[in-house]
Homo-oligomer: A and B are copies of this chain.
Amino acid sequence: METLHITNTLNRKKEKFEPLVEGHVGLYVCGPTVYSTAHLGNVRTFLSFDIVYRYLKHLGYKVRYVRNITDVGHITNSAGDDVDSIGNQAKLENLEPMEIVQKYTISFHDTMKIFNLEAPSIEPTATGHIVEQIEMVQRIIDNGYAYEKNGSVYFDVPKFAKEHSYGKLSGRNIDEQQDGYRELDAQDEKNDPRDFAIWKGVDETFPMRWNSPWGEGVPGWHLECSVMSTKYLGQKFDIHGGGMDLKFPHHDCEIAQSIGADGTEPVRYWMHTNMLTMNGQKMSKSLGNSVLPLELISGNHELLEQGYSPMTIRFFMLQSHYASQLDLSNDALQAAEKGYKRLANAFDLLDKVEHNGKENISDEEEKAVLKLIQDCSVYMNDDFNTAQTLAVLFEMSNKINAIYNKQFDISLLSKATFDKMKATFAAFFTNVLGLKSEKSEGSNGVTDGLMDLILEIRKSARENKDWTISDKIRDELKALNIVVKDEKDGGTTWTVG
């Protein structure tokens, strides 16, 4: 596609993307609740929006990317029940809730960094917006869409649904929703089981609580995103994303709250990422098939045959479209490892291949390469199709390898086209897809330098038939998990792991 198109959950259609303000994009993504280490599913979701963020910037937009931290723990589950995740974890670890928040916020940031995700422009916290949340609750009450009961405030779903569409993201019919809920019991103070808390009164046994016009309490979970997205992006903004499990109730409630408070539907393009499964099954603690990011890297899990590097995992996730289910398995990861290494090798070769200045241009070759260059954008424009974009980069890497190995005559391409291909490959590999070479990771070039020295010694030892040294080098490199490969052109490449 020539311009960016996005599948909008609002209507399930692939729509041309047109930002509200030319040249600018406001992007909001629901961030983590910081009471445990991030799951691989979280990594996939945030990685998907990292691609959205990176590609929008690549297109020249000035992007304000807001991703929140949920640091107050009352999460409403799909049955309408309240779970105080952070408070519960604080009791378990015998810490103050804000110590739990700090511990798992740091852990989350570390995980995002490992997989080379860029930090958002603003990372607001729920506890940092209590004033604004109280004000939004008040506006919803004032507009007649919420009522107070015993210190809590509930959103009046049936009343709202009479006047507005409710549940349009999830596609749930308001009447069907009744089924998803338990019956109201005698203690339940809600008028209708579908109503949800936008302010929850709590007593002094909860360490996290704030004064409000309705007594001490905490904001409802859905409310924070409504407040923080519109505070930093405006009452109407471009893109809102999250995992598909958030469509209902979280995102449908966000829409209701914004309309209830300010009469405006807030989001123009809703985007939802699909699930990550393990060997075909949903990951869950009870099935024992839930693998954590660091376990996947170390290989320290009974379902894993080996560890996989962060860039292998990133590559693996980019091999499927964000809106498709993605299945984790040893086979798929091992294939991804090979694929990533092929691309990374081509990336490392980029500064070793230069056009020789002689042009004996073949129209066919020239056209083919120009098409590859264009295709990177064509596929990314097609709802961020990273899988197809990777396929194009593979074709480019074949070309780069062939040129490096002198199997392809570089003079068949114009210097301009060849240089453009190199620049495009580098830009999509690093800036857009966020991949990087892991070869000399963290070694500041020292490892590369030492390896160059060792390979030279190996070469001269072989030439001198000094098998003692060449065998020693072979054994020691093997012990260090370094794989050396002699290429057809007489050169030598190596990789760790």
Contacts and interface: CB of A to CB of B under 8 A. Distances in A.
A454 B454 contact: yes
A13 B443 CA distance: 48
Interface in A77-101: 95-96, 98-99, 101
Contacts of A469: 457, 460
A143 interface: no
Contact of A450 (B98, B450, B456, B460): B450
B449 A98 contact: no
Contacts of A101: 122
Contact of A119 (B106, B128, B444, B453): B106
A446 B449 contact: no
A444 B442 contact: yes
Nearest to A451: B450
B99 A64 contact: yes
Interface residues of A, number: 50
A216 to B, nearest CB: 11
A125 interface: yes
A124 B480 CA distance: 44
A465 B102 CA distance: 59
Contacts of A178: none
Given A102-B123, A131-B130, A232 B456 contact: no
Chain A residues touching B, majority SS: helix
Contact of A121 (B99, B131, B457): B99
B128 A127 contact: yes
B444 A456 contact: no
A361 interface: no
Contacts of A210: 131
Interface string A218-242: 0000000000000010000000000
Contacts of A457: 457, 469, 472-473
23 contacts: A64-B99, A96-B121, A96-B122, A96-B232, A98-B122, A98-B232, A99-B121, A102-B119, A102-B122, A106-B119, A125-B125, A128-B128, A131-B210, A131-B211, A135-B211, A442-B443, A443-B447, A447-B447, A449-B476, A449-B480, A453-B472, A456-B472, A457-B472
Given A101-B122, A128-B128, A460-B468, 5 more contacts: A96-B121, A98-B124, A130-B130, A453-B472, A453-B476
